Structure 1
Amino acid sequence: MSALLSVFASLVERLADLLQPLFHASAAAAAIVLFTALVRLLVLPLSRAAARGQRARAALQPRVAELRKKYRKDPERLQKAVLELHTEEKVSPLSGCLPSLLQLPAFFLLYRLFSSSTIGGEDNGLLGHRLLAAPLGGRWADVLADGQVFGVSGFVYVALFAVVAAVATLNFLRAKRSMAESGGVGLGGGEQVPGLGAVSRAMPFMSYFTLVTVAVVPLAAALYVVTSTAWSAVERAVLYR
């Protein structure tokens, strides 16, 4: 892990050096945003596949409705029949999770990098980088403890919270509308896949949990989360239109 962190730290430093003429003291923060964009570009094919999968699942809704009517008194048989239908049509009800899952290593790498005071036995120079006045290794709790809520550091976090809240509200409204249009689980349509009902009911609220993540992780990791969240909102608007 130490060797991996060293390589990743060198990558961030090089990106920051390239961006320094444009972003000056915030070059490392800009490098993290650029790194996030590169990660999202890498998983874009999976995101497109997930969008196709959702459209395919939507196309199956009339047949799912027939199965619900046929097996309305036998929930276990209904679940089995819906799973068989998805298998037959080569549609995975969980395919949309893959893009998010594949981003987790990049997020945890950033988290670890900006939570470590030393890398490879040497001081972690990245912790000295800032976004405006906010250190990339700092947290919202540090801003509160230092009484900087109304200072520049506090403004940085307020701006991040505002972006996440706006995107979360957009995702919430879109998810509720999508579930209503498809007669999805949690809206009286019955559970299509074992265990998926609870997940689907909670899904519209999941974006708001990002606010907690931004508040507790180092600012560098929070930047990754906010950038990826905003990217997802734009991506969904384009791919799911």
Structure 2
Amino acid sequence: MYSLFASLVELLARVLEPVFALSATAAAIVVFTMLVRIAFHPLARAAVRGEKARAALAPQLAVLRKKYAKQPERMQKEILALHAEAKVSPFSGMLPMLVQLPVFFVMYHVFSSAKVGGEVNELLGHRLFAAPLGSRWSDALGDGGVFGAQGVVYLGVFALIACVATWSFRRARRNAASSEFAQLASGAGTSGTAVGAGLFKWLPLLSFGTIVTAAVVPLAAGLYLVTTTAWTVAERAWLQRERPAKAEKAALAGQGAG
């Protein structure tokens, strides 16, 4: 698997070299990540459909939480039964993220290993401007410091991740009030639910944790993180854009019927 991945990246790099020159391998990683996300796009669409289906169950969930507020075990059982009856999985939204983990680990391994498939790993010497793709931020700090030639590359990567995280954070907070988890938070009747409400309030901040991850993994893996997180935010914004459009059409249809 590692050899196959390295071969694909090298092939893409050769194709992109006339345009990106010495940074062709870095560009190949970005293109490879986008191809992976295109392949997983049906899962993302299914996840958004699942979110819409769970949102439709919100009124019934609110009734169950109120009815069984003093019986948390019964409440959980009834909520699971409702999801099963509606054929909606409360965890379907996690699938697109989980299927990407093996790709990230392969990327991490290839750019952390001196050999791939028994041969010298030449990818480690490829660069994004002045920074080797197999290096980490600690290496950049030891070679010129924060504002050195390598350090500036990492600052650019961190800035991109911060921009994507900020966008993601604002969208998450804006959509929080209408989400299923916010419905759970607002109906807090148990200490466990109250804790869940508190966690949900700060959950969007986890997107900024990607900066920490990018600082400790090889630069190539950091490029993967930048690309995949940006894709995720843009993809979800595009898929969820249908909600207000459909709502407006339904309202206009209702007015016309009246």
TM (norm. structure 1) is 0.91
Deviation at 1:183, TM superposition (A): 6.0
Q: Deviations over 1:79-123 (max 9, x none)?
A: 111111111111111101101111111111110000011123322
Q: Which residue number in structure 1 is paired with residue 112 of structure 2?
A: 115
Q: Which residue number in structure 2 is paired with residue 187 of structure 1?
A: 185
Unaligned runs of 5+ in 1: none
Task: Specify the SS of the correspondent of 1:207.
Answer: helix
Q: Which residue number in structure 1 is paired with residue 244 of structure 2?
A: none
Separation in 2 of the partners of 1:92 and 1:203? 20
Separation in 2 of the partners of 1:53 and 1:207? 22
Query: Which amino acid in the other structure matches residue 21 of structure 1?
Result: P
Higher helix share: 2
Separation in 1 of the partners of 2:129 and 2:179? 45
Q: Which residue number in structure 2 is paired with residue 96 of structure 1?
A: 93
1:33 correspondence with 2:24: no
Q: Which residue number in structure 1 is paired with residue 154 of structure 2?
A: 157
Deviation at 1:191, TM superposition (A): 8.4
1:206 correspondence with 2:206: yes
Q: Which residue number in structure 1 is paired with residue 166 of structure 2?
A: 169
Percent identity over the alignment is 58
Separation in 2 of the partners of 1:227 and 1:168? 12
62, 67, 74: which one aligns with 2:59: 62
Q: Deviations over 1:195-217 (max 9, x none)?
A: 99387455322211111110000
CA contact (8 A) 1:50 1:96 kept: yes
Query: Which amino acid in the other structure matches residue 57 of structure 2?
Result: L
Separation in 2 of the partners of 1:170 and 1:76? 37
Query: Which amino acid in the other structure matches residue 228 of structure 1?
Result: T
CA pair 33-105 structure 1, distance change in 2 beyond 3 A: same
Q: Deviations over 1:51-97 (max 9, x none)?
A: 01111111111111111121122222111111111111111111011
Deviation at 1:134, TM superposition (A): 0.7
* Structure 2 counterparts to residues 35-54 of structure 1, below 5 A: 35-54=32-51
CA contact (8 A) 1:143 1:149 kept: yes
CA pair 120-181 structure 1, distance change in 2 beyond 3 A: closer
CA pair 152-163 structure 1, distance change in 2 beyond 3 A: same
1:128 correspondence with 2:163: no
| Aligned Cα root-mean-square deviation (Å) | 2.1
Deviation at 1:144, TM superposition (A): 1.0
Deviation at 1:224, TM superposition (A): 0.5
CA pair 51-211 structure 1, distance change in 2 beyond 3 A: same
Task: Specify the SS of the correspondent of 2:20.
Answer: helix
Q: Which residue number in structure 1 is paired with residue 254 of structure 2?
A: none
Separation in 2 of the partners of 1:93 and 1:14? 40
Q: Which residue number in structure 1 is paired with residue 234 of structure 2?
A: 234
CA contact (8 A) 2:145 2:151 kept: yes
CA contact (8 A) 1:32 1:220 kept: yes
CA contact (8 A) 1:191 1:197 kept: no
Task: Specify the SS of the correspondent of 1:23.
Answer: helix
Deviation at 1:176, TM superposition (A): 2.6
Separation in 1 of the partners of 2:106 and 2:180? 39
CA contact (8 A) 2:133 2:220 kept: yes
Deviation at 1:147, TM superposition (A): 2.5
70, 83, 98: which one aligns with 1:86: 83
Task: Specify the SS of the correspondent of 1:208.
Answer: helix
Task: Specify the SS of the correspondent of 2:70.
Answer: coil
Between the two proteins, the alignment pairs up a number of residues equal to 237
Deviation at 1:181, TM superposition (A): 2.2
Q: Deviations over 1:180-203 (max 9, x none)?
A: 2236257332389x9993874553
